[in-house]
Each structure stands twice: as C-alpha cells, then as structure tokens.
Amino acid sequence: MVDGIMKKYPEDMIIHILLRLPLKFILRFKCVSKTLYTLIQSSYFIDIHYNHTLTSTYDNILLKRSCKEDIERYKAVFSFISSDDEDNLNSVYSDLDVPNLLRTTSVTSDKLIDSNHGLIALMEHRTTILFNISTRNYRHLPPSPFQISKGFYQSIKSGGFGYDSVVNDFKVFRISEFYTEDRYGYPEDGETEVEVYELGIDIWRKLDHVDQELPILFWLNSSMSYKGAYHWIASVEGRNIILCFDMTTEIFRNIEMPNTSKFFKGTLYSLQLLNESLSLLCYPCLSSGTDPTTDMMEIWIMKDYNIYESWIRKYTIIGLPTENPLVVWKDYILLFQSNSGHLISYDLKQDEIKELNILGCPKSMRAINYKEFLTPIQRQS
C-alpha cells in the first residue's frame, strides 16, 4: 500500500521530505516499504544526505569513557551529548556499549578519531574498530599480516585514520620502528615503516617511499584528521612541530607551530578544530607542580591553513586547571576531563565553568564533534 502511494509522488519530493527528518526517523522508514528501503540504501541518497548534513551547523558530541567493573576489568561506553538553548549539556540517547572492546585492563591507550566523512575509528596499538555511530554499524579490522623479521623488535609509534577523497575510500595507517638490540639489551638505530589499510579493498600494504627520518612521535600525542591529512604533535631536534600525513599522496610534511608560551615545568599541546580552522591549545603540565590558579592556557588558530604567518592567539585563559582537553564544541565550549574523572565544560565567551554529571575513569575520556551520516560500513558478522 505504501509503495502504491509513493508512486504518486516524484522521487525528488520524497527525498526533500526525508532530508528534513532526523537520521533516526529516516532509518525507521527503511522498514516501511521496499521502495523506501531501496532509496535510503542507495548511494545516490546517501551522497545527497551527506552533502545536506555537512552544511548544517548542528553537531553532537560523541564521548567515549570507561568505568571500572571490578578490580582488574573496565567497561567502555559511548555517550551521546547535545545541549538545550541555554547550552546545558545532556545525553540525547542511551549509552552504547563499545563492541569488541579493545582492552579491558587499560583505559588510557586508545584514540578516538573522526574522519570528517561519516566514519570514526577507535584505535589501540594493534587493534582498530571502525564505526558509523549513527547507524550503529561497525567493523573490527583484520590485524596486519606482516611479520617481524628474526632478530628485530617492533615499536609502534603512532597511527591514524582518515578519508582519501580521490579514491573515495577510508584509510587506517600505523607508524612503527623496527630495531635490533646491542649486546647489553639497548635498542640500536632502526628503520621506520608505515602500514596502510584500505577499507574498500580490505587489504594492508606497506609504503615503499618512507625514506625520510620522521620526527619523534608518541602514541598518545594529540592528533586529528583535517583537510585530507592527518596531523600530530611531534618533536624534532628539541622543538615541537605539527607532523602531517596526506591521505591521498601518502607523503609526510611538517607545519611549524606558533611561538607559544613555554611553562617552566612542562608544556603540553592539543590539536583542535575552532572556527573551522586548525587550532592549538597550549597549557602547563599540572603534574609538574604548577599552580592552577595562576597558570594560563593559550588557544591559537591558523586562519589560513599551512600558512605560518596566519597563526593568531585567540584566547588566553587564566586559572583553568586541565590536563586532558577533549574537544571544542560550537567554537566556544571547551570540554575536558577533571583529575577526579568528571566531564567539565568551560565557556570561552562567558568565562564559566561547569561540572557535568558524567563520570569516567581518570584519563579515559575521548570526545569528538560528530554529525549523523548514512556512510555505509559492512558490519562484521
């Protein structure tokens, strides 16, 4: 009956109506008729919905946090957060258990990465799960098939995830150093290798052109995907830089950081997106004994991407004690996790701080801005 009614209306009109609905209602229409199911599943509608959603200014926050279940085991969940007209943050859906939890005995070794194209990745050193959090589909990626040569050891330095717009595919990559040990057990200089996984063809491969010496990377250094490249905080010859990996050319390059303040007992950095621009948070390491009532945080924005002279200092914040900044939402709400484990919001415009009734194990929270897309991903059977 529904299919018969739909034949009376042009497809463009039906699409126009569907685009005005929240994604959860669009997904329900897949069960109404075979015609709607076919339309909503089509790449044509998925692309139209993606472009329509991309231009909207409404974002939610996806928060991953871990809670302790017993002495040696943790449970990870996704929480979906939005706000009312007065910017009070609230959960908009029920929490979702993280399937195929990466590691139940640790809460601080994972990275939550947004591709900016509908899929997200939850990564550990050797394990990656890709999600479309809106459709609740996911894929647990196969492990790398490459073996470690006899007599060598592997140190996984970092990894990332992003979208290659040229081949229309998602890529996961991992940077490792392979080294030997001297007679006393100390590591000797090794070689850097980059492994890339392409989702569309389900294959791992090695890059054969990584002949440059990469800056020093650590797994949990702040990183993000932006403008077709993956970005990390890294260091070279005693100074900090932003290392970039182009998702299409698969070539590394550096971006110089601005001349930020330096804190006597340690300076930390976090990459963020603010005003649609690559941004940098600079703040003191609280565990080094700094005074949170007097120390400051700086927020810098690169107004023109990859142009050093376009760095500007947007905010200077006094007395905001944080070691775990998570994400900037709506361009003026900074979310971070307190040392006690609570989610905290700080309004950059009003200089207001709020402790939210959302709790996780200390240092376990990860957060991204996300929009609801229909980007398909084959669910693991």
Higher pLDDT, 71 or 46: 46
Average pLDDT on 56-78 reads 83
Q: What is the rounded distance in angstroms from the CA atom of residue 331 to the CA atom of residue 106? A: 32
Q: 66 with 360: CB under 8 angstroms?
A: yes
Average pLDDT on 54-60 reads 76
The pLDDT assigned to 294 comes to 62
Pick the CATH number of 57-370 from 2.120.10.80, 3.90.1150.10, 3.30.379.10, 1.20.1640.10: 2.120.10.80
- Judge whether residue 192 has pLDDT over 50: yes
Which of 158-162, 176-180, 195-199, 345-349 shows the lowest mean pLDDT across its residues? 176-180
Which of 25-34, 50-59, 159-168, 278-287 shows the lowest mean pLDDT across its residues? 50-59
Residues 6+ apart with CB under 8 A from 18: 26, 29, 39, 40, 45, 49
pLDDT band at residue 97 using 50, 70 and 90 as cut-offs: confident
The pLDDT assigned to 292 comes to 57
Q: What is the rounded distance in angstroms from the CA atom of residue 266 to the CA atom of residue 272? A: 20
- Judge whether residue 58 has pLDDT over 80: no
pLDDT band at residue 381 using 50, 70 and 90 as cut-offs: very low
Per DSSP, helices labelled H in the chain are 2-6, 11-19, 23-29, 34-41, 43-54
Higher pLDDT, 154 or 6: 154
The pLDDT assigned to 57 comes to 64
pTM across the whole model: 0.90
The pLDDT assigned to 287 comes to 59
Opening angle at CA 62, ends 376 and 353, nearest 5 = 160
The pLDDT assigned to 288 comes to 53
- Judge whether residue 188 has pLDDT over 60: yes
pLDDT tens for each residue of 106-142: 678 889 999 888 899 999 888 899 999 888 899 999 9
Token digits of residue 46: 């998925």
CB atoms within 10 A of CB 237: 7
The pLDDT assigned to 103 comes to 57
Question: DSSP 3-state helix, strand, coil percentages of the chain (rounded to 5)?
Answer: 10, 45, 45
pLDDT tens for each residue of 195-206: 999 999 999 999
pLDDT tens for each residue of 300-342: 999 999 999 999 999 999 888 777 899 999 899 999 998 889 9
Q: What is the rounded distance in angstroms from the CA atom of residue 197 to the CA atom of residue 142? A: 9
Could you tell me the maximum CA-CA distance found in the chain, to the nearest angstrom? 81
Domain boundaries along the sequence of the chain: 1-50, 57-370
pLDDT tens for each residue of 215-274: 989 888 899 999 999 999 999 988 899 999 999 999 999 999 999 988 777 889 999 999
Average pLDDT score over the chain: 87
The pLDDT assigned to 254 comes to 94
Q: What is the rounded distance in angstroms from the CA atom of residue 14 to the CA atom of residue 156? A: 49
Which of 87-91, 164-168, 233-237, 292-296 shows the lowest mean pLDDT across its residues? 292-296
